[in-house]
Amino acid sequence: MTTTTTLSTHDAAFVRDLHVMSQFGATENGGVDRQAASAPDGEQRRWLTGLLVAKGFTVKFDGAGNQWGLYEAVAGAPYVVVGSHMDSQPTAGRYDGAYGVLAAAHAAFRVVEKWTAAGPAGRPKFNIAVVNWFNEEGSRFKPSMMGSSVYTGKLELETALDTTDAAGVSVRDALDAIGCRGDYGGPEAAYCAEIHIEQGRSMEREGITIGLVHSNWAANKYEFVVHGGQAHTGSTVIADRKDALLGASMMVVAARELADHFPGVLHTSVGQLTVYPNSPVVVASRVSLLLDLRSADESVLAEADALLHRRIPGIERLANVQVERNQSHSWPVTPYQPEGVELAAKVAADLGLANKPVMTLAGHDSTNMKDIVPTVMLFVPSVDGISHNEHEYTTDEDIVAGLTMLTEVVNRLCDGALED
């Protein structure tokens, strides 16, 4: 990691803006809670609009709630899309996603300043678009990466807008409530770039400042619904119970045992349980759980998936329940374009930044974008690998180094470095 302690005027302004951004939806323990289309999300979107407009960018919202800051230097030319997401998990950290959006904005500002200073001789081949993708986290509305999925044609707009949260509020109504559903179709993309915190500890452990993401792990995500029978927790004899929560608990244990069966190469989790009726004196009659399996080895993922589903009949028998399976979404191992990885490696070398190729275990909007345009994905270290947690932290030195890296990547993409 970098050890610079004195920040330039530009870098100090970036760090100050990150501190301002962190005030929207701030929690008592230093994190943020600004789930998609919530009031804090609307506030930060309005703040970002002001930041972009002040630098000469035009801001538009598309039908899925994606926020676009557009700078057209070449009339009619496609755009280099750069950004991430500003929505968060409940009681989350300040860096996840938000860092990538703010870094994209400041990188774009610096690139435009360069064009302006150079005059006609600095005319780029491509325009630049800063994007704040809608509902990347998926904490309020499922699935995750919703905005980029609509933009890339993987999810129908009306399907996304009709999706409801736990309280029955639709995406359409939630976006309208914060004034962030527009009619813009989105820019034509030529290339894409995204920077993000690693959300792991490998880079920090190895002293690496820039991660060059070359591929993603595969994932299978499911929503299981365990059906039982409502009964009295005191008077109903154990043999007569159809305990949906017991069945769901067995599913949780089964997922962890799968990870232990494939140590280091399979990650599993159950991140959400919804229990009905969720009363202290009622045996649960229905439990929904979101379960996911992830691996860089698709054969391991397939084997683990099969083992999980072979466990289900035994769980149904032992808990006297029925398990309904609904696949939420999944994605395979897919590489980022090697020319983009090579470009990023050259930039890191030119800037003297320690770097290495890495894979992303988590999903990001760039994993959608790389399926339609050449895409560069970059990581900066996470202290202790902490993420989706109020104590998530990346040093100022590393976020500034990442901004410097992203700026030069975007500059070269706009200049057509990958055109040949």
Q: Kindly report, residue by residue over 371-407, the tens digit of the pLDDT.
A: 999 999 999 999 998 988 899 999 999 999 999 999 9
Are 147 and 291 members of one domain? no
Are 381 and 289 members of one domain? no
Burial code of 32-64, b = ≥16 C-beta within 10 A, e = fewer? bbbbbbbebbbebbbbbbebbeebebebbbbbb
- Average pLDDT, integer, range 8-14: 94
Q: How far apart are CA 234 and CA 236, in angstroms?
A: 6
Total domains, the chain? 2
Parallel, antiparallel or unpaired: strands 282-283 and 127-133: unpaired
pLDDT for position 6: 81
Classify 276 as helix, strand or coil: strand
Q: What is the DSSP string of 235-251?
A: TS-GGG-B-HHHHHHHH
Are 18 and 30 members of one domain? yes
Q: Under the phi-then-psi rule, with left for phi > 0, alpha for psi from -120 to 50, and beta for the rest, what region is 154?
A: alpha
Residues whose CB falls within 8 Å of the CB of residue 153, separated by 6 or more in sequence, listed in order: 372
pLDDT for position 2: 44
Are 322 and 227 members of one domain? yes
The domain that holds 339 is classified in CATH as 3.40.630.10
Are 318 and 345 members of one domain? no
Are 187 and 61 members of one domain? yes
Which of these three, 301, 331, 361, is where a domain ends? 331
Q: How far apart are CA 241 and CA 244, in angstroms?
A: 9
Residue 311 domain-assigned (yes or no): yes
Place of tokens 């129908």: 156
Retrieve residue 215's tokens.
């591929």
Which of these three, 331, 349, 379, is where a domain ends? 331
pLDDT digits (tens, 9 = 90+) for 18-46: 999 999 999 999 999 999 999 999 999 99
Place of tokens 């990346």: 394
pLDDT for position 7: 87
Q: How far apart are CA 332 and CA 298, in angstroms?
A: 7
In this prediction, residue 286 has a pLDDT band, given cuts at 50, 70 and 90, of very high
Helix residue ranges, H only, 217-364: 244-261, 298-319, 338-351
Give the least confident one: 114-123, 155-164, 283-292: 114-123
Asked if pLDDT for residue 303 goes beyond 60, the answer is: yes
Query: Please, which contacts does 110-113 make with residues 24 or more away whose CB atoms are closer than 8 Å?
Result: 110/10, 110/407, 111/407, 111/410, 111/411, 111/414, 112/55, 112/56, 112/71, 112/73
- Average pLDDT, integer, range 119-127: 92
pLDDT digits (tens, 9 = 90+) for 41-99: 999 999 999 999 999 999 999 999 999 999 999 999 999 999 999 999 999 999 999 99
Are 90 and 133 members of one domain? yes
357 sits in which H/E element: strand 355-360
Q: How far apart are CA 413 and CA 374, in angstroms?
A: 10
Residues whose CB falls within 8 Å of the CB of residue 190, separated by 6 or more in sequence, listed in order: 77, 78, 79, 80, 126, 373, 413
Q: Are 348 and 405 in contact (CB under 8 A)?
A: yes
Work out the mean pLDDT of the chain and round it to a whole number. Answer: 95
Residue 82 domain-assigned (yes or no): yes
Lay out the sheet containing 267-276: strands in order across: 267-276, 286-295, 218-227, 322-331
- Average pLDDT, integer, range 345-360: 96
What percentage of the chain exceeds 90 in pLDDT?
90
Are 297 and 198 members of one domain? no
Residue 58 domain-assigned (yes or no): yes
Residue 76 CB burial class (10 angstroms; 0-12, 13-18, ≥19): exposed
Are 134 and 280 members of one domain? no
pLDDT for position 1: 46
What percentage of the chain exceeds 70 in pLDDT?
98
The domain that holds 306 is classified in CATH as 3.30.70.360
Q: What angle do CA 124, 128, 129 make, to 5 degrees?
A: 170
Residue 2 domain-assigned (yes or no): no
Are 126 and 271 members of one domain? no
Residue 420 domain-assigned (yes or no): no
Are 141 and 241 members of one domain? no
Give the domain extent around 345.
Answer: 9-217+333-414
pTM of the model: 0.90
Residue 419 domain-assigned (yes or no): no
Q: What is the DSSP string of 55-69?
A: TT-EEEEBTT--EEE
Are 82 and 195 members of one domain? yes
- Residue 363 phi, psi dihedral angles, 5° rounding: -85, 145
Asked if pLDDT for residue 3 goes beyond 50, the answer is: no
Residue 417 CB burial class (10 angstroms; 0-12, 13-18, ≥19): middle
Residue 252 domain-assigned (yes or no): yes
Which of these three, 278, 311, 331, is where a domain ends? 331
- Average pLDDT, integer, range 204-220: 95
In this prediction, residue 5 has a pLDDT band, given cuts at 50, 70 and 90, of low
Parallel, antiparallel or unpaired: strands 189-197 and 375-380: parallel
Place of tokens 């009905």: 276
Residue 4 domain-assigned (yes or no): no
